[in-house]
Structure 1
């Protein structure tokens, strides 16, 4: 449901009650969508896309990042040395 800013402000309690019931409200400014108000308990957008079959979860988890490399000096000096 699309609602302008003024209408949202004037009937905020009523519109928030609709959100509590599970509805999503798109807030518009001069007819252009600028924000969405969604129920907190609802699934995330990613969960919705997975449920709709548009995306699928990864088959395996990401590998952990390698340990940081210990160096001396500042990064800009190291980059400068590599570019020479």
Structure 2
């Protein structure tokens, strides 16, 4: 189904959900097709990339957490560092 760029922008969530449901959405600009959006099955795509060796599964299922650690603090203002680098 074709949709004008303005309509696509105004109702982006709706058109993405249509693509996710299996519809092919063709975005047009002044009646000329610009882009085609189709749904993507994430799980098969990830499995395919793992089999190709492009990505690897995580060694642990636990995500790292940074609780209890202090954030690093800059000794000077970032703007001063940028100005110094530009000189």
TM-score under structure 1 length normalisation: 0.47
The normalised TM-score by structure 2 is 0.46
